[in-house]
Structure 1
């Protein structure tokens, strides 16, 4: 962790090698995030390229090196949300099914439909918490709001997802 913070500090001072090291470290997390939102390998790879560019361009703006991963994933989520708004589609991959612990009687289509029915903030919180396994405090930092607010939003998002899945005849095991 300490070495990562040093890489972030070095990258923010213009060290390209430190930046590349950080990007290599988080490329799988970025890919999974992009794939969970965009559900297309080509679009996910394109998203990684764009997010790498945006992160490199704005690395000097990072305030706390300890939150680099959260900052980077937030850039990816914002990019994906922009793409979804442009494309008007939301899909979910098999990895997301496993991340949510959805029982086997749920099809990917049921989860996709249930997730589409949620507002953007709810989808984002669920993905950060259960797909990226971020802690409440890290989500609060990324969303720039109090931890209590994140807990409230998370509970509401889970309830909405459960209700939507129950309407389809199953349940959520989170």
Structure 2
């Protein structure tokens, strides 16, 4: 069944359709949460909270074609709220293990530099490069023109380069 048809059914109250949609996008949600929160347990909790929030608010979705971007936007907002509550980032052994064996020093530098960026920059980079969302869709999510998104993306990349240079990183973005 096509995604849009599932979304329409879910909006009308079909729980099976909603669960099928969540199953379809659970990896995207998890990757988004993990890239923001950097903790497996917190990412899983974020998935639960966002799933509940989406279930509660699905009737507010205006266009079924943007279900994925709507869902990711809920996740980003939740993660930003959690980060504001913490105001502090601690890298611990559990987080390092959750990054996987293939994680190398350069990737850790990149993730660390991303956390030093402002919310909007981190949001745009996460959507574009971690979730492969098109600029047109990012513009829809952020409710601004595509040109503005391109400008913000350019500034975010420049800021990320500066953060990496400050840290002595050898990664070029």
TM-score range, shorter chain: 0.7 to 0.9
User: Residue 28 of structure 1 aligns with which residue?
Assistant: 27
Residues 118 and 161, structure 1, Cα contact 8 Å, conserved in 2: yes
Map 1:1-174 to 2 at 5 A.
3-90=2-89, 94=99, 106=106, 108=108, 110-174=109-173
The number of residue pairs the alignment matches comes to: 166
Q: Provide Cα deviations, 1:13-69, integer angstroms capped at 9, x if missing partner.
A: 111111010001111111111111112221111111110110011101111111100
Residue 165 of structure 1: CA displacement?
0.9
Does the C-alpha gap of structure 1 residues 128 and 60 become closer, same or farther in structure 2, counting only changes over 3 Å? same
Partner of 1:101: none
Moved over 3 A (4+): 89-95, 170-174
User: Unaligned regions of 5+ residues in structure 2, if any?
Assistant: none
| Structure 1 residues 129 and 153, CA gap change in structure 2 (3 angstroms) | same
How far apart, CA to CA, are the structure 2 residues paired with 1:10 and 1:107? 40
- Structure 1 residues 105 and 32, CA gap change in structure 2 (3 angstroms): closer
